[in-house]
Amino acid sequence: MRVAVYLPAEDKTQWWVDMLQGLLPGWDVIPVHSVDDPQSIDFAVVWRPRTGDLARFPNLRAIISIGAGIDHVLDDAALPKGIPIIRTVGSDLTQRMREYVALHVLRHHRDMPRQLRAQAELDWHAIVVPVAGRRTVGVMGLGNLGAVAAQTLAGLGFSTRGWARSAKSIDGVECYAGAGEFDAFLDGCEILVNLLPLTDDTRGIMDASLFDRLPQGACVINCARGPHLVDGDLLAALDSGQIKQATLDVFHHEPLPTDHPFWTHPAVTVTPHVASQIDAETGGQIIAANLLEFARSGTCADVADAERGY
Ligand code: NDP
Ligand code: OXD
């Protein structure tokens, strides 16, 4: 079997090539830029492939996304149709996201930014917030990551809601489904976490109309994809006080351009797409196992639904 690997940084591509080669003895793993016989490629392992890279391989059996999202693959305007896309998921990823969501929800809940400002001003300023059970938090997206995040928040005692496309039942989480229940889900949500996949239906979902449906002073956390958020609408909502604080891990352009107002906004916390970056060695093992399973059986558990977009 021959595998072509592409990541935007060449040194990272070589690192993944070496690691996967070690995990797949007898296979041939090469960087996309070294492929001289495109017909021979069976699998492509990619993160943000360049337009047309994948279309070069006429005998491709599957595309492997180095990550849970497949939007970066579907973005390729020349993507060959009908090739299975396998996402990379696992307990390492869900655990990291669980930690990130708990950290930032608790930070907003306890108003840590205000508390830290008080310390900087040598101000003994006691902030007493409602107990978690009186704080309503909502998670948009109840898949691999969102369901675990919601369970974690419920476990911390928050009044927790979740929203997905289809109906769910998660212990301790009030679940809402579909566009028809979106308003009810948002109504009263004081801290909102986004864990949706980026699709035509969800692009721009975090806009002025969503912010207006949250209670005044709500906090938002975007750890899914940058284009879920309308940046200008968030800045306006922060300026008006409709939104009090935002934690953003993902952006329209990554790295976030140095002149972007989010970097210096006092009510915005920026993290560099690290909410849940899978440990590369664990990710490599998952990818190798998926490749072996797909080569053996023609499918594997982590094949995404490209039509649906996730
Ligand atoms: P899943 O595919 O497992 O789950 C997606 C969830 O979103 C499902 O519950 C789905 O509903 C719901 N959903 C999809 N479309 C809609 C819609 N139109 N309306 C309501 N709900 C919808 O995804 P994961 O949990 O694995 O990952 C989510 C996203 O997180 C990824 O796509 C990626 O963009 C991002 N991510 C970010 C990382 C980071 O470090 N910042 C790391 C990893 C992922 P249903 O269950 O009904 O289908
Ligand atoms: C992913 C990501 O999709 O890292 O896994 O964002």
Ligand 1 centroid–CA 142 distance in Å is 7
Q: Which ligand is in closest contact with the Cα of 65?
A: 2
Same domain, 128 and 156: yes
The CATH number for 112's domain is: 3.40.50.720
Same domain, 130 and 236: yes
**Percent of the chain whose predicted confidence (pLDDT) is above 90:** 98
Let me know: does 156 contact 132? Beta carbons within 8 Å. Answer: yes
Confidence of residue 273 (pLDDT cuts 50, 70, 90): very high
Provide mean pLDDT across the span 109-123.
Answer: 97
Most ligand 1 atoms within 8 A of CB, residue of 103, 195, 252 to mutate: 195
Same domain, 86 and 104: no
Q: Which ligand is in closest contact with the Cα of 47?
A: 2
What is the CB < 6 Å shell around ligand 2?
67-69, 277
Distance CA 262, CA 235 (A): 8
List the structure tokens of 263: 């970097």
Ligand 1 centroid–CA 207 distance in Å is 18
pTM for the whole structure: 0.97
Q: What is the pLDDT of residues 196-226, one digit of tens each?
A: 999 999 999 999 999 999 999 999 999 999 9
Task: Encode 21-42: b = buried (16+ Cβ within 10 Å), e = exposed.
Answer: bebbeebebbebeebeeeeebb
Strand partners, 65: 46
How far CA 71 is from CA of 24, 85, 224, in Å, comes to: 27, 11, 11
Same domain, 64 and 120: no
Q: What is the pLDDT of residues 20-39, one digit of tens each?
A: 999 999 999 999 999 999 99
Element (H, E) at 44: strand 43-46
Q: What is the pLDDT of residues 130-158, one digit of tens each?
A: 999 999 999 999 999 999 999 999 999 99
Ligand 2 centroid–CA 251 distance in Å is 12
Residue-number span of the structural domain to which 80 is assigned: 2-90+278-297
Is residue 153 in a domain?
Answer: yes
What is the CB < 6 Å shell around ligand 1?
67-69, 89, 93, 141-146, 163-166, 195-199, 201-202, 223-225, 249-250, 273, 275-277, 310
Ligand 1 centroid–CA 251 distance in Å is 16
Strand partners, 248: 222, 270
Is residue 303 in a domain?
Answer: no
Provide mean pLDDT across the span 27-53.
Answer: 97
Is residue 304 in a domain?
Answer: no
Is residue 199 in a domain?
Answer: yes
Q: Which ligand is in closest contact with the Cα of 145?
A: 1
Same domain, 139 and 250: yes
Phi-psi region of 26 (alpha: psi -120 to 50; beta: other; left: phi over 0): left
Same domain, 248 and 99: yes
Same domain, 238 and 119: yes
Q: In terms of C-beta distances under 8 Å and separation of at least 24 residues, what long-range contacts does 167-172 make, across chains too?
A: 168/142, 170/142
Same domain, 48 and 197: no
Element (H, E) at 248: strand 243-248
Provide mean pLDDT across the span 221-242.
Answer: 98
For 169, the 3-state DSSP assignment is coil
Let me know: does 74 contact 48? Beta carbons within 8 Å. Answer: no
Our count of domains for the chain comes to: 2
The residues annotated with a catalytic role in the active site are: 225, 273
